Structure 1
Amino acid sequence: MNPTSHHQGSQRCGLDALGQFDEIVDVRTPAEYADDHIPGALNAPVLSNEERVLIGTMYAQESPFKATRLGAALVARHIAEYLETIFADRPRGWRPLIYCWRGGKRSGSMTAWFNLIGWKARQLDGGYKTWRRHVIDTLAERPAGLDCVVLTGPTGSGKTRLLQSLGAAGAQILDLEGLARHRGSLLGALPDRPQPSQRGFESALLQAIEALDPARPVFVEAESRRIGQLSLPETLLRAMHAGRCVRVRAALPQRIAFLLQDYAHLFEAPDDFGRTLERLIGLHSRQTIRDWQALIAAGRRAELFQALVETHYDPAYRRSSDSHYAGLDQAMTFDYDPTADDGHAQARALIAQLRVPA
């Protein structure tokens, strides 16, 4: 990708100038911003969700001139409001980068007004579409250079907790489930934390990968192609499949105890939990699902998780995509207690065993 460079006297610049600005301002609608945005950008929409639909409909069905005139009035009102509120305290030398969908009238209007005031505002050439192309192109190439150390192991072995402890101990990590806001299994949805859009996930993933030192190994948890509703880039999957592997092993009682901690929120809505298990009909008989639902109703949590582990998760793990990992045959086994209080000490022990610089 060759983003347009900043030229003297121009009010436009490319992505290569991102680091030169004090703030990035996204003037698209709240809905566009929520779907995806440049990480760290502030949303100051010059049209609301409803106003953008109104202007678009008027442009197509009534008159481009009338739509443009009304749009200009609405944009001007919003800019005036922001000058008296969210931008009221910006200093004289403030340098904002402003973008909209494709670098058109919405960002151009705010850029022009800000420069008239005396701020050194610039408009992102090509707008969000330039950013999106950058994300796609970079994720198709950058992950190929990662030296992955992949944590494998069955459900309940505490791979995510170990990964986070490795990060706290100074190792490089890539927390894919954290970025995806999902644990990657049927029961993996997080309470009150919906998953981002695919585009939002990819922007966050790119930011995380660009922060990594390619000369150092990066620990990552084994994942299938999808985490909840989100898909991993093919280049990243190939890098993970080619990486070194560590088999994380935990005793069954520790795994059950860990799952009881980590999935306690499921029992706050037992009916929903029971209905979720019905999605396993086809893999398991209706009677098996009814038995599990009865354990939920009776509050027999440990029995339920042991049944799920032994009957569903462990057999699924043995059939899983871990077979795609080339380093699995030579993998080191690491005994781990996910319920212990010495998580950081255990992480440091793994770093020492692998001789990975932290």
Structure 2
Amino acid sequence: MFQDIQIEKLNELRAKNEITVIDVRSPSEYAESTIPGSINIPFFNDEERAEIGTLYKQVSTQAAKERGLEIVSAKLPSFVKQFAEIQGNKAVFCWRGGMRSRTTATVLSLMGIHVHRLEGGYRTYRKWVVDTLQSMDFAPDVYVIHGNTGTGKTLILRELQEKGYPVVDLEGMAGHRGSIFGEIGLKSSNQKTFDALLVESLIRYQDSPYILLEAESKRIGKVVLPEFLVQKKEMGRHIVLEAPVELRVKHILDDYRPWEYPAESLLAFSKIKSRIHTPIAQEIEFSMQQGNYGAAVRLLLEYYYDPRYAHTTEAYGEAFHQEPVLAIGSVEQAVQLVEERIQRDQEHVQAAAEDVQVKKHQSV
């Protein structure tokens, strides 16, 4: 017989990569939000789920159960085979640990395939995420990478992450680049997905002396940062980068590839067009229509994004404005400068900690 597993134990096994988590909800439920890293083996597809839901509401519970049994019976061999192909520990979940996951676990048990069932289902996981974010006491310092639009902050952070630095990729989790054009070519996350990715990233680095993240507003696309992280960011160690406009234009074109999304790019521009001096706005729009995206990006930087960035940084305290601006000519140079800054800071932190220990020893 299958065993229930609580969310805390499941998370412990997931952190060690010692269990495969299977979401047996429908594909649309899975796409809307799930436990990160889980795979989808749906008990019912979207059409079947809708049909059974209609029977449940309009006919009777018994009619819904009988139709559900018919559907499952027809595809049971392939359903069981998919689970049999997964090696090692397995756990299944549905919305609230009800019929779909219970039936799945029971059938698999009868076929000699042992799985755990998540107690309370996805609803329990979501509650754990929300409660954890609300009560989290996140100790590591925060390094915040600043720079005008196109400086390459995301590229720099991903290079640092490849080198093993503790990077929290907020834009990657949000599926959004943080600008009016930020969703183009991406699948933006909803709040549930973002929260799940964020809490797991923060837990992964909770014993690290610091994390690195990009200077973002409280809202990134469709999602909102938790207040404690906004405060940590504002009180963090700020690294300010400055890149030549030619490099910034190249970064933006390489990242956004607007020629692949001409209609979406024009639509996004229409949302900010009224905020730009009319002759400049017309020139930007004409350049985009002609496919001259380099000229359009350069004008957008000069007349829209750079003034907005300057206004935003005015809100930072005196300490921020005293930070030296690091001029960069490439992502590689920026990575090196950031590494050097972190190394100096951490050496000072270590020296200060050792000094405290010496003084304690002397006082004894």
Shorter chain as denominator, the TM-score bin is 0.7 to 0.9
What secondary structure, in the 3-state scheme, does the structure 1 residue paired with 2:320 have? strand
1:306 counterpart = 2:303 = no
Whole-angstrom distance in 2 between the partners of 1:75 and 1:332: 64
> 1:33 maps to what in 2?
30
1:96 counterpart = 2:90 = yes
1:200 counterpart = 2:182 = no
Picking from 134, 154, 159, the partner of 1:140 is 134
Q: Supply the AA of the counterpart residue of 1:239.
A: K
Contact 2:184 2:264 (8 Å CA) reproduced: no
Normalising by structure 1, we get a TM-score of 0.86
What secondary structure, in the 3-state scheme, does the structure 1 residue paired with 2:35 have? coil
Picking from 201, 205, 211, the partner of 2:204 is 211
Q: Supply the AA of the counterpart residue of 2:83.
A: F
> 2:355 maps to what in 1?
none
Contact 2:27 2:45 (8 Å CA) reproduced: yes
Picking from 66, 80, 92, the partner of 2:63 is 66
After superposition, give the CA deviation of every residue in 1:178-204 in whole Å (9 maximum; x if it has no partner). Answer: 11122100122242x311222112212
> 2:284 maps to what in 1?
292
Whole-angstrom distance in 1 between the partners of 2:318 and 2:51: 54
| Greater helix fraction, Structure 1 or Structure 2 | 2
What secondary structure, in the 3-state scheme, does the structure 1 residue paired with 2:188 have? coil
Q: Supply the AA of the counterpart residue of 1:160.
A: T
- Of 157-166 and 125-134, deviating more is 157-166
Q: What aligned pairs does 1:258-273 form with structure 2 within 5 A after superposition?
A: 258-263=251-256, 265-273=257-265
Q: What aligned pairs does 1:61-140 form with structure 2 within 5 A after superposition?
A: 61-84=58-81, 86-90=82-86, 94-140=88-134
Whole-angstrom distance in 2 between the partners of 1:57 and 1:321: 54
Picking from 185, 189, 197, the partner of 2:183 is 189
1:163 counterpart = 2:157 = yes
Whole-angstrom distance in 2 between the partners of 1:283 and 1:197: 28
> 1:352 maps to what in 2?
343
Q: Supply the AA of the counterpart residue of 2:77.
A: A
1:42 counterpart = 2:39 = yes
For structure 2, list consecutive stretches of 5 or more residues without a partner in the other structure: 350-364
Normalising by structure 2, we get a TM-score of 0.85
The two structures, once aligned, show a CA RMSD in angstroms of 2.5
Whole-angstrom distance in 1 between the partners of 2:131 and 2:334: 37
Contact 2:258 2:293 (8 Å CA) reproduced: no
Change (3 A) 1:48 1:329: same
What secondary structure, in the 3-state scheme, does the structure 2 residue paired with 1:331 have? coil
Picking from 173, 179, 188, the partner of 2:173 is 179
Q: Supply the AA of the counterpart residue of 1:104.
A: G
- Of 63-72 and 105-114, deviating more is 63-72
Change (3 A) 1:55 1:261: closer
Whole-angstrom distance in 1 between the partners of 2:24 and 2:221: 30
Provide the aligned length of Structure 1 versus Structure 2. Answer: 343
Q: Percent identity?
A: 29
1:16 counterpart = 2:12 = no
Change (3 A) 1:10 1:326: farther
What secondary structure, in the 3-state scheme, does the structure 2 residue paired with 1:174 have? coil
> 2:222 maps to what in 1?
229
Larger relative contact order (C-alpha < 8 A, sep ≥ 6)?
1
After superposition, give the CA deviation of every residue in 1:294-330 in whole Å (9 maximum; x if it has no partner). Answer: 2224444443222111110011112227725685244
After superposition, give the CA deviation of every residue in 1:46-92 in whole Å (9 maximum; x if it has no partner). Answer: 111111111111111111111122123323444432223x224356x
> 2:235 maps to what in 1?
242
Change (3 A) 1:90 1:296: closer
Change (3 A) 1:275 1:248: same
- Of 23-32 and 70-79, deviating more is 70-79
Q: Supply the AA of the counterpart residue of 1:42.
A: I
